[in-house]
Amino acid sequence: MKSLANKVAIVTGAGSGIGRAIAWQYADEGAKVVVADIDEIGGTQTVALIKKNNGEAIFIKSDSSSAADNQSLVEETVKHYGGLHIACNNAGIGGPLGVTGEYPIDGWNKVIGINLTGVFYGMHYQIPAMLESGEGSIVNVASILGQAGTKFSPAYVAAKHGVVGLTKAAALEYADKNIRINSVGPGYIVTPLLTKTLTDEQMKPLAGLHPIGRLGQPGEVAELVLWLSSPKASFVTGSYYPVDGGYLAQ
């Protein structure tokens, strides 16, 4: 029997990259997957890939930085599939680059709104639905920059540190209610977040930051998220797991 058989899962930011890989892995392990993204084209493509693999999925357009969209996403999921058992709050952006003293205020607000507040909104509406289902597992996608700092990305670093702390707080609150909540910290992964903003030459130095000697692939993050979401991780909650090619070990 597949590890996620008869489970219903939401994945935000599932229109490409890590989110798409997670949605595909969930479906491959038997979950009914709700693909959520603001990108309708990317989201429907993810659903098509899942269905081509004989999985079950639907697309719901959703802006993770909107409380109303998060509420509607959960309500539509429960209405369509009858419950909610798993959620991966993955949607995120890199945002503008700049030193803290000159960082654009609108850029700060957008990054925090999507990368941190969006995770709070997600859990705020996902958790009550999971309580109704009698169980739940939430995985929040943070970053290596949820544990380390870097120059020129104050909003991103602050948001991802916040995701790690928020995950721990929520995990403690619901540990005795059969809901597990964890976070993962990808290193630099080959996704549109990188490939649309950097050339191959610009990405080469990033590979060198990882002792393993290369950038990560979305599927490598998805494998960890799948494990955390499954009964195989039944005694794991409140944890932060890097998947970073050794980046944080330095």
Residue 201: strand, helix, or coil: helix
Catalytic residues: 156
Q: By the 8 A CB rule, do 43 and 61 touch?
A: yes
H helix intervals, 82-185: 105-112, 118-133, 154-174
Question: CA-based Rg of the chain, rounded to a whole angstrom?
Answer: 17
What whole-number distance in Å separates Cα of residue 140 and Cα of residue 174? 15
C-alpha to C-alpha distance for 124 and 126, rounded to whole angstroms: 6
**Per this entry, what is the length of the chain?**
250
Q: How far apart are CA 156 and CA 123, in angstroms?
A: 20
For the chain, the helix, strand and coil percentages under 3-state DSSP, each to the nearest 5:
50, 15, 30
Exposed/middle/buried for 35, CB within 10 Å: 0-12, 13-18, 19+?
buried
Q: How many helical (H) and strand (E) elements, i.e. helices and strands, does the chain have? A: 9, 7
Residue 52 has a CB neighbour count (10 Å cut-off) of 8
